[in-house]
Amino acid sequence: MIVVNAYAGQRVGVLGLGRSGLAAAGALQAGGAEPVCWDDSPEGRKAGVHAGFSVRDLTREREWEGVTALIVSPGIAHLYPAPHPAIERAMAAGVPVDNDIGLFFREMAAWEPGLDDDGEGDPTVICVTGSNGKSTTSALIHHILLEVGRAAQLGGNIGVGVLDLEYPAASETIVLELSSYQTDLARSLAPDIAVFLNLSDDHLDRHAGRGGYFAAKMRLFDAGAPERVVIGVGEPEGRYLANRLEGRADKIVRIGGREGWTVSMKKAFLVERQNGKQTGSLDLRTAPALRGAHNGQNACAAYAACRLMGLGPKQIEAGMMSFAGLPHRLERIAEIDGVTYVNDSKATNADAAEKALLSYDNIRWIAGGEAKEGGIAALVPLLDRVRKTYLIGAAQDAFAAQLGDAPHARCETLDAALAAARADAQPGDVVLLAPACASFDQFSSFEARGEAFREGVRNLQSDIRSG
């Protein structure tokens, strides 16, 4: 645990009692603060009581006496579309609002790990943000570092919450995946290496549009002031950010660019260039978990970050070849009677689903759920890769209208869609779950949706064996 010492002897509000909220409350308490916790859900409040914390309704004015700060979980709106009532109370009372990321960086600024055997001291913090690919890129960086014998931890928006990490040893690396919700509110950001992958429309209600969404991402670079940066320049925002950092960051690696230090994909080959000269090349055709153009960008970003850490191309290549990938991200579940079943439940918006569709041909596409703005209109040009679409969830009628005359079926549920796709599929087809939607109409998370798909495929295998 990273102990938060900055509020010793003070009363601190904690809003939201999920993974990050409970960790923040524990870290504050360990540092001598008195956490006062609230969650809108009975389940969250029960978790807080069970953990031994004081649970008080922070939406009521009387609970704010003596509270000196409010720590907010990332899923809770602090400005758009409207602030949570407890946050409005904090702002009215002049109480600073922060999150666990801000607490983490504040504590890291005071942490002195000493020197290792080689005389090296300060740990390195690598932060990865972007609309798509954050988890895979973060996990790939972490994996490569471990494969070459570097001490490293992985957390943030993936796996372990930042305050549940261990204090880093000298020369250790902490890799953090950070969402816009986390970078937007953190009062302290201080990465050593910061990675910006891409930007596509997502969470627009939370940030009052694309400009606000980009501004939240950009805080990692403006407020964080990293000396080494990796910037995907596939969109105007990335090109703007790279230009903005010229003269401010010591080292800038552009993903997909042509000038300066660049890393890009040429078919299945990763190519590094510095000042026009090729300085590295990797053949990723046999990398098992890096299929598709989007994973090419993830690989380029991870490669660039590791090069900024001083690793050589061959060291990085070995780590990429042994990387197993993450669940629910183009996860190959099984091949049954010549039909491949792929779980990309993490494709929760059209941009992510596009990358999945571009990775295969002869697709039986399962799509739908709680729709994002724009639906799947942008994916219609890719329907020549899709034999038939099987629609589920709240978005199925709207998606059916957007599909027009393209072959599709309204299936309501994931189980029904999987059964229909199984009945229609021919050898060589790919049954692909890439919903282009949030999961919350029928599932608690994209992970739960992906697990249901896995289970459905396992049931198909069992039926074949028993038959």
- Residue 465, pLDDT > 70, answer no
Whether residues 379 and 462 share a domain: the answer is yes
Cβ contacts of 284 within 8 Å, gap of 6 or more? 265, 268, 269, 270, 290, 296, 299, 320
Q: Is residue 363 part of a domain?
A: yes
Last residue of a domain, one of 322, 355, 372: 322
Total structural domains in the chain?
A: 3
Average pLDDT of the segment spanning 40-50: 97
Same domain, 167 and 29: no
pLDDT at residue 351, rounded to an integer = 86
Is pLDDT above 80 for 310?
yes
pLDDT value at 340 more than 70? yes
Q: Which two tokens stand for residue 348?
A: 């929760």
**Does a structural domain hold residue 144?**
yes
Residue 74, domain CATH? 3.40.50.720
Is the same domain home to 28 and 73? Answer: yes
pLDDT of 447 reads: 95
Interatomic CA distance for residues 155 and 165, integer angstroms: 7
Q: How confident is the model at residue 121 (pLDDT cuts 50, 70, 90)?
A: low
Q: How far apart are the first and last CA of the chain?
A: 51
Interval 171-222: pLDDT, tens: 999 999 999 999 999 999 999 999 999 998 878 889 999 999 999 999 999 9
Residue 4 lies in a domain: no
Structural domain that includes position 204: 120-322
Report pLDDT for 322.
94
392 and 364 in a common domain:
yes
- % of the chain at pLDDT higher than 70: 97
The pLDDT of residue 289 is: 86
- Are residues 315 and 339 located together in one domain of the fold? no
- The pLDDT value recorded for residue 113 is 83
In a domain, 75, yes or no: yes
Query: Residue 202's pLDDT is what?
Result: 77
What amino acid is encoded at 302 in this protein?
A
CATH code of the domain containing 336: 3.90.190.20
User: Considering the domain boundaries, does residue 296 fall inside one?
Assistant: yes
Q: Does a structural domain hold residue 112?
A: no
SS3 content of the chain, % helix, strand, coil (to 5): 40, 25, 40
pLDDT at 422 over 90: yes
The three-class DSSP label of residue 424 is: helix
HSE (side-chain half, CA atoms, 13 Å) at 120: 11
Task: Give the chain's mean pLDDT.
Answer: 94
Say if residue 427 is in the same domain as residue 394: yes
Q: Which residues 6+ apart lie within 8 Å of 332 measured at CB?
A: 340, 341, 342
- 87 belongs to a structural domain: yes
Domain-terminating residue out of 65, 98, 131:
98
Same domain, 151 and 87: no
Residues 287 and 316 in one domain: yes
- What is the structure's pLDDT at 421? 98
Would you state the structure tokens that stand for residue 8, as one six-digit string?
Answer: 């010793």
Looking at the structure, tell me whether residues 146 and 254 fall in a common domain: yes
Indicate if the pLDDT at residue 119 is higher than 60.
no
Question: Both 139 and 24 in a single domain?
Answer: no
CATH number of the domain residue 188 falls in: 3.40.1190.10
Which domain-ending residue is among 284, 299, 322?
Answer: 322
Task: Using pLDDT thresholds of 50, 70 and 90, give the confidence band for residue 294.
Answer: confident
Does the pLDDT at position 116 exceed 80? no
What's the pLDDT at 467?
57
Average pLDDT over residues 443-457: 96
What confidence category does residue 118 fall into, taking pLDDT thresholds of 50, 70 and 90? low
Two structure tokens written together for 310: 């001083």
- Mind listing the pLDDT tens digit for each residue in 56-88? 999 999 999 999 999 999 999 999 999 999 999
> For residue 21, what pLDDT band results from cuts at 50, 70 and 90?
very high
Radius of gyration of the chain (CA): 23
Structure tokens at 144: 């490569």
Three-state SS letters, 76-137 = CCCCCCCCCHHHHHHHHCCCCEECHHHHHHHHHHHCCCCCCCCCCCCCEEEEEECCCCHHHH
**64 in a domain, yes or no?**
yes
Quick one: 411 and 298 in the same domain?
A: no
Please give the average per-residue pLDDT across 28-51, as a whole number: 97
Element (H, E) at 379: none
pLDDT in the model for residue 293 = 82
**What's the pLDDT band for 2 if we cut at 50, 70, 90?**
very high
207 and 247 share one domain: yes
Span 275-284, average pLDDT: 93
Q: Are 13 and 7 in contact (CB under 8 A)?
A: no
